[in-house]
Amino acid sequence: MNPVISRFIRYIKIDTQSARKSDTFPSTQKQLKLAKLLEQELKELGLMDAAIDEFGYVTATLPANTDQKDMPIIGFLAHMDTSPDLSGENVNPQFIEDYDGGTVVLNTEKNITMSPDEFPALKKYIGKTLITTDGTTLLGADNKAGIAEIMTAVEYLLAHPEIKHGTIKIGFTPDEEVGHGVDHFDVEKFGADFAYTIDGGEVGEVQYENFNAAGVEVTIHGRNVHPGKAKMKMRNALLIGMEFNELLPVFERPEFTENYEGFYHLYEINGTVEEAAMAYIIRDHDRDKFEEKKRLIQKAANFINEKYGDRVIELTLEDQYYNMREMVEPHPEIMEIAVEAVKSVCVTPLIIPVRGGTDGSRLSYMGLPTPNIFTGGHYFHGKYEFIPTFAMEKTVETLVAIAALIPKR
């Protein structure tokens, strides 16, 4: 088995799911199990400064193997956690060899299948080998594929000293999926001039734009009265929550948007007649449209409060990250290197916006310009996640090519 594939399978067997509502960092201690394994493997490769710090960040240095001066120090980063949206425990990957273009059976017992009519990305990989879930968990390609690809690229560079490269910094972070991946990351100590997150999707993706992002917590205070005596007294928090949601634009939901279109996403709701809670994320690439979305959701809360009484709805809105484009564009050479590397491995670059965020979006605002490079995976965060094996191999080749290009520029 190709080393990048065997690493990937090893890493996804470790449950590293992060948690949104946690007072610790990392948000889950189980992420440290993978961190310790990566520290050990980096040292076994010969990167003796590999270490885990007090926050769970794993860092290491691949020293330059040339005396050439004035080369930038680059970084490769990936995150260790998987999404809270679906379990990452007991991941049981399936290999679909020589995919024939038909419906993929993920789980016979539960009758879970993946049709190319519903998941059209499958059509691009006829004849390739796919790694899928068994329909009960996510796969973990986001972002353990990125980790495996970085580790394999480092191993390859160490085994091929004829490929001259500058100093390369390696970083693996926790809690990216819950928006806290670089809360405690020390950019100055990391020591890179620029970096790349290996956290993208389809083979060829090179990205320097991402969403502006905010999180919204909505608490609805109702009034519960016996339904037989409820006339003009009951205030049903669940129904008020439904009414609140209907004040937001229907066609600005994730299921109706693509490319540069932003959205409001209701991802959690629970409660009773007495009290209910709803959680949203707001996303848009355009900063003005992003600010307008925030104003609109606040306006909806104000309307409900005017209708039912002050403080029926309490809304907490917090910005999470911003579009990295503003920070990366002044350094065009960073994208030029990535695009040239992708082309050099016979892949067509796909320069498209990230419909999400990466650690790189926040790192870019912390002084470390960090665009994003493909891992090869599709349909992250759910049971339909899959990754073609050849795409992972192409990512490794791309990282090696980036390293080799630095001394030549």
- From the list 15, 41, 81, 199, the catalytic residue is 81
| Cβ–Cβ < 8 Å for 3, 155 | yes
Q: Which two tokens stand for residue 302?
A: 């104000």
Evaluated on CA atoms 242, 246, 248, 251, the torsion sign reads positive
**Enclosing H/E stretch for 240:** helix 237-246
Angle at 72 between CA 52 and CA 163, to 5 degrees: 85
Look up tokens 């690439």; give the residue: 285
- In whole angstroms, what is the distance from residue 84 CA to residue 53 CA? 24
Verify whether residue 252 is a known catalytic residue: no
> Considering only CA atoms, which of 382, 388, 383, 384 is closest in space to residue 95?
388
| Cβ–Cβ < 8 Å for 279, 216 | yes
Verify whether residue 23 is a known catalytic residue: no
CA distances from 250 to 265, 266, 298 (A): 10, 11, 17
- From the list 15, 176, 199, 359, the catalytic residue is 176
Evaluated on CA atoms 141, 146, 147, 152, the torsion sign reads positive
- In whole angstroms, what is the distance from residue 349 CA to residue 288 CA? 29
- In whole angstroms, what is the distance from residue 93 CA to residue 264 CA? 32
Residues serving a catalytic function are: 81, 176
